[in-house]
Structure 1
Amino acid sequence: MNTQTFPVTGMTCGHCVGAVTSELEQIPGVTGVTVDLVAGGTSSVSVASDDPLSEPDIVAALDEAGDYHLAGN
């Protein structure tokens, strides 16, 4: 199993956490998502998966969930 942590901006509430979690869980191979919400700041999103995930897959899932971005992108 592989766990990666991504810095994500744009998250402000529990609804944001749910939207991001739901989209990330739809990526093939993802087995779990944990979010450490920092409302209005940079949240830490940890994704457990069978294999390492590519940054474009994460970016696409965040975009699908709403106006969320990897910090620095």
Structure 2
Amino acid sequence: MKLMPDRHVEVLEIEGMTCDHCVKSVREALAGVSNAVVRSVEIGRAEVDAGPEATREQLVAAVEGAGFDVVGGTSEAAPE
């Protein structure tokens, strides 16, 4: 998938998710971050296409605000 300029992909490894309700909560929390597009959310993992204004720290804070712990993941810069 080709990203828009200045965008990056954030993959978050998340603990505490056990059901579809958890998935919905995380998806809604991430969707509330300005300039972030949720690619996918499943139990234990979320992937977000984020613009420069949507930092990893903001995404982590959104997930933690929903009651879950981010325990790892990766950041990938958009291809040049």
Answer yes or no: same fold by TM over 0.5: yes
- Indicate conservation of the 8 Å contact 2:34/2:54, yes or no: no
Aligned match of 1:14: 20
Please, what TM-score do these two structures have when normalized by structure 1?
A: 0.74
Q: How many residues align?
A: 66
Paired residue type of 1:27: V
**Offset, 1:34:** 0.7
Report sequence identity in percent: 26
Q: Which one has the bigger helix percentage?
A: 1
Q: Hey, what's the Cα distance between the residues in 1 that align with 2:41 and 2:60?
A: 16
Unmatched segments (≥5 aa) in structure 1 = 38-42
Please, what TM-score do these two structures have when normalized by structure 2?
A: 0.68
Unmatched segments (≥5 aa) in structure 2 = 73-80
